[in-house]
Amino acid sequence: MERLPNTMTRTRLLFLSLALVSGLPGAAAAQDREPEPIGRFAADVRAAIPNFPDDQEIATALGVTTEDLPGRGLGLSFGIHFYPARLGRVTLGIGGELVMARASRTLDPTTEGGTAGPTVNGRFSALSPQVSLNFGSGRGWSYISGGLGWGMLTIEREAAPVDDADGSLQTLNYGGGARWFAKEHLAFTFDLRFHRYGAQDATAGRPAYPKGRMMILSAGISVK
Protein backbone atom coordinates (compact mmCIF):
# COMPACT_ATOMS: atom_id res chain seq x y z
CA MET A 1 0.00 0.00 0.00
CA GLU A 2 1.30 3.45 -0.92
CA ARG A 3 2.71 5.44 1.97
CA LEU A 4 1.65 9.03 2.68
CA PRO A 5 4.15 11.82 1.96
CA ASN A 6 7.07 12.48 4.26
CA THR A 7 6.91 14.81 7.27
CA MET A 8 7.93 17.96 5.37
CA THR A 9 5.31 17.36 2.67
CA ARG A 10 2.63 16.69 5.29
CA THR A 11 3.40 19.98 7.02
CA ARG A 12 3.25 21.88 3.75
CA LEU A 13 -0.07 20.18 2.94
CA LEU A 14 -1.51 21.32 6.28
CA PHE A 15 -0.56 24.97 5.78
CA LEU A 16 -1.72 24.96 2.15
CA SER A 17 -5.08 23.52 3.20
CA LEU A 18 -5.48 26.12 5.94
CA ALA A 19 -4.64 28.92 3.53
CA LEU A 20 -7.27 27.72 1.07
CA VAL A 21 -10.06 27.17 3.59
CA SER A 22 -9.34 30.49 5.29
CA GLY A 23 -10.15 32.31 2.07
CA LEU A 24 -13.19 30.43 0.78
CA PRO A 25 -15.75 31.05 3.54
CA GLY A 26 -14.59 34.63 3.93
CA ALA A 27 -15.08 35.34 0.22
CA ALA A 28 -18.69 34.27 0.38
CA ALA A 29 -19.27 36.33 3.53
CA ALA A 30 -17.76 39.42 1.93
CA GLN A 31 -20.72 39.63 -0.47
CA ASP A 32 -23.04 40.47 2.44
CA ARG A 33 -23.04 43.90 4.01
CA GLU A 34 -23.64 42.40 7.42
CA PRO A 35 -22.42 38.78 7.42
CA GLU A 36 -24.20 36.43 9.78
CA PRO A 37 -21.97 35.76 12.81
CA ILE A 38 -20.81 32.27 13.70
CA GLY A 39 -23.43 30.59 15.90
CA ARG A 40 -23.07 29.55 19.52
CA PHE A 41 -22.19 25.90 18.89
CA ALA A 42 -21.44 23.28 16.22
CA ALA A 43 -21.34 19.49 16.39
CA ASP A 44 -19.46 17.27 13.92
CA VAL A 45 -19.58 13.63 12.81
CA ARG A 46 -16.79 12.68 10.39
CA ALA A 47 -15.31 9.60 8.76
CA ALA A 48 -11.59 9.52 9.49
CA ILE A 49 -8.54 8.20 7.62
CA PRO A 50 -5.62 7.78 10.05
CA ASN A 51 -2.04 7.04 9.06
CA PHE A 52 -0.49 4.71 11.64
CA PRO A 53 3.26 5.10 12.34
CA ASP A 54 5.82 3.04 10.42
CA ASP A 55 8.29 3.12 13.29
CA GLN A 56 11.24 0.71 13.18
CA GLU A 57 11.21 0.28 16.98
CA ILE A 58 7.61 -0.95 16.88
CA ALA A 59 8.37 -3.32 14.00
CA THR A 60 11.38 -4.77 15.83
CA ALA A 61 9.39 -5.27 19.03
CA LEU A 62 6.72 -7.18 17.11
CA GLY A 63 9.19 -9.21 15.04
CA VAL A 64 8.03 -7.78 11.69
CA THR A 65 9.27 -5.23 9.16
CA THR A 66 8.04 -1.66 8.80
CA GLU A 67 6.29 -2.75 5.57
CA ASP A 68 4.13 -5.09 7.69
CA LEU A 69 2.83 -2.26 9.90
CA PRO A 70 -0.81 -1.23 9.36
CA GLY A 71 -0.41 2.08 7.52
CA ARG A 72 -3.69 3.77 6.66
CA GLY A 73 -6.95 2.80 8.31
CA LEU A 74 -10.51 3.95 8.97
CA GLY A 75 -12.28 5.48 11.92
CA LEU A 76 -14.85 7.94 13.22
CA SER A 77 -14.52 11.36 14.78
CA PHE A 78 -17.10 13.16 16.93
CA GLY A 79 -16.76 16.76 18.06
CA ILE A 80 -18.69 19.53 19.75
CA HIS A 81 -17.60 23.17 19.96
CA PHE A 82 -18.92 26.32 21.58
CA TYR A 83 -18.18 29.89 20.46
CA PRO A 84 -18.40 32.21 23.47
CA ALA A 85 -16.60 35.32 22.19
CA ARG A 86 -15.93 37.28 19.03
CA LEU A 87 -12.73 39.31 18.79
CA GLY A 88 -13.01 41.45 15.67
CA ARG A 89 -12.93 39.09 12.70
CA VAL A 90 -11.90 36.13 14.86
CA THR A 91 -14.33 34.00 16.88
CA LEU A 92 -12.96 32.04 19.84
CA GLY A 93 -14.06 28.42 20.14
CA ILE A 94 -13.84 25.94 23.01
CA GLY A 95 -14.73 22.27 22.62
CA GLY A 96 -13.38 18.79 22.11
CA GLU A 97 -13.16 15.77 19.86
CA LEU A 98 -13.26 12.00 20.24
CA VAL A 99 -11.58 9.94 17.53
CA MET A 100 -11.48 6.13 17.25
CA ALA A 101 -9.58 4.43 14.44
CA ARG A 102 -8.33 1.00 13.34
CA ALA A 103 -6.09 -0.39 10.62
CA SER A 104 -4.88 -3.80 9.47
CA ARG A 105 -2.39 -5.09 6.93
CA THR A 106 -1.38 -8.50 5.61
CA LEU A 107 1.29 -8.46 2.90
CA ASP A 108 0.73 -10.70 -0.10
CA PRO A 109 3.17 -13.60 -0.71
CA THR A 110 6.33 -12.54 -2.49
CA THR A 111 6.29 -15.69 -4.66
CA GLU A 112 3.49 -17.70 -6.24
CA GLY A 113 2.24 -20.24 -3.72
CA GLY A 114 4.24 -18.60 -0.94
CA THR A 115 3.10 -17.63 2.54
CA ALA A 116 1.40 -14.31 3.17
CA GLY A 117 2.99 -11.93 5.63
CA PRO A 118 1.79 -11.69 9.23
CA THR A 119 -1.39 -9.72 9.88
CA VAL A 120 -0.63 -6.62 11.93
CA ASN A 121 -3.47 -4.61 13.48
CA GLY A 122 -3.49 -1.09 14.86
CA ARG A 123 -5.88 0.77 17.18
CA PHE A 124 -5.85 4.42 18.13
CA SER A 125 -8.23 6.53 20.19
CA ALA A 126 -7.98 10.03 21.59
CA LEU A 127 -10.13 12.41 23.61
CA SER A 128 -8.91 15.89 22.76
CA PRO A 129 -10.06 19.17 24.32
CA GLN A 130 -9.48 22.00 21.85
CA VAL A 131 -9.28 25.77 21.66
CA SER A 132 -9.93 27.19 18.19
CA LEU A 133 -9.64 30.44 16.26
CA ASN A 134 -12.42 30.69 13.67
CA PHE A 135 -12.56 32.90 10.57
CA GLY A 136 -15.68 33.55 8.52
CA SER A 137 -19.42 33.83 9.04
CA GLY A 138 -22.37 31.67 10.02
CA ARG A 139 -22.64 30.47 6.41
CA GLY A 140 -19.19 28.94 6.58
CA TRP A 141 -15.93 29.33 8.40
CA SER A 142 -12.41 27.95 8.61
CA TYR A 143 -10.46 27.34 11.80
CA ILE A 144 -7.19 26.38 13.36
CA SER A 145 -7.23 24.56 16.70
CA GLY A 146 -5.23 22.56 19.19
CA GLY A 147 -5.08 21.25 22.73
CA LEU A 148 -3.82 18.63 25.17
CA GLY A 149 -5.74 15.39 25.65
CA TRP A 150 -5.52 11.67 26.32
CA GLY A 151 -5.05 8.82 23.89
CA MET A 152 -4.18 5.18 23.41
CA LEU A 153 -2.15 3.46 20.68
CA THR A 154 -1.79 -0.30 20.22
CA ILE A 155 -0.09 -2.09 17.32
CA GLU A 156 0.08 -5.89 17.48
CA ARG A 157 0.37 -9.06 15.47
CA GLU A 158 -3.00 -10.74 15.10
CA ALA A 159 -1.40 -14.07 16.01
CA ALA A 160 0.13 -12.60 19.19
CA PRO A 161 -2.19 -9.93 20.65
CA VAL A 162 -0.80 -7.76 23.43
CA ASP A 163 -2.40 -6.77 26.73
CA ASP A 164 -4.32 -3.55 27.11
CA ALA A 165 -2.35 -0.58 28.42
CA ASP A 166 -2.54 0.29 32.11
CA GLY A 167 -3.45 3.92 31.41
CA SER A 168 -3.81 6.58 28.76
CA LEU A 169 -1.17 8.66 26.99
CA GLN A 170 -0.94 12.42 27.00
CA THR A 171 -1.50 13.68 23.46
CA LEU A 172 -1.03 17.04 21.80
CA ASN A 173 -3.37 17.67 18.87
CA TYR A 174 -3.23 20.51 16.36
CA GLY A 175 -4.65 21.16 12.92
CA GLY A 176 -7.44 22.94 11.10
CA GLY A 177 -10.37 22.63 8.75
CA ALA A 178 -13.59 24.26 7.62
CA ARG A 179 -17.38 24.04 7.59
CA TRP A 180 -19.65 25.07 4.67
CA PHE A 181 -23.38 25.36 5.40
CA ALA A 182 -25.41 24.38 2.33
CA LYS A 183 -28.52 24.63 4.53
CA GLU A 184 -29.24 26.75 7.56
CA HIS A 185 -28.23 24.10 10.10
CA LEU A 186 -26.39 21.46 8.02
CA ALA A 187 -22.84 21.70 6.68
CA PHE A 188 -20.08 19.73 5.03
CA THR A 189 -16.93 19.73 7.15
CA PHE A 190 -13.38 18.46 6.90
CA ASP A 191 -10.42 18.45 9.26
CA LEU A 192 -6.69 17.72 8.98
CA ARG A 193 -5.19 16.96 12.39
CA PHE A 194 -1.95 15.74 13.92
CA HIS A 195 -1.76 13.87 17.22
CA ARG A 196 1.58 13.76 19.02
CA TYR A 197 1.68 11.08 21.72
CA GLY A 198 4.15 10.11 24.39
CA ALA A 199 6.11 6.90 24.81
CA GLN A 200 4.62 3.80 26.47
CA ASP A 201 6.80 1.65 28.71
CA ALA A 202 6.92 -2.11 28.25
CA THR A 203 4.95 -4.35 30.60
CA ALA A 204 4.79 -8.12 31.05
CA GLY A 205 2.28 -8.57 28.23
CA ARG A 206 2.92 -5.47 26.15
CA PRO A 207 5.99 -4.14 24.28
CA ALA A 208 7.27 -0.60 24.58
CA TYR A 209 5.96 1.93 22.08
CA PRO A 210 8.07 5.03 21.32
CA LYS A 211 6.63 8.51 21.15
CA GLY A 212 5.39 9.54 17.75
CA ARG A 213 2.79 11.31 15.67
CA MET A 214 -0.32 10.34 13.73
CA MET A 215 -1.95 12.32 10.95
CA ILE A 216 -5.73 12.00 10.62
CA LEU A 217 -7.76 13.39 7.72
CA SER A 218 -11.52 13.40 8.26
CA ALA A 219 -14.67 14.64 6.52
CA GLY A 220 -18.36 14.52 7.28
CA ILE A 221 -21.28 16.66 8.40
CA SER A 222 -21.72 19.45 10.92
CA VAL A 223 -24.84 20.90 12.54
CA LYS A 224 -25.33 24.17 14.38
Strands 90-106 and 169-181: unpaired
CA 10, 221, 212: angle at the middle one, nearest 5?
Answer: 30
Per-residue pLDDT of the chain (224 residues; tens, 9 = 90+): 444 445 445 555 554 454 444 444 444 444 445 678 898 999 999 999 999 999 999 999 999 999 999 999 999 999 999 999 998 889 999 999 999 999 999 988 766 766 788 999 999 999 999 999 999 999 999 999 999 999 999 999 999 999 988 888 899 999 999 999 988 899 999 999 999 999 998 888 899 999 999 999 999 999 99
Which residue in 43, 38, 25 sits closest to 222, CA to CA?
Answer: 43
Which residue in 135, 189, 139 sits closest to 28, CA to CA?
Answer: 139
Q: Which 8-state DSSP code applies to residue 114?
A: -
Strands 90-106 and 119-137: antiparallel
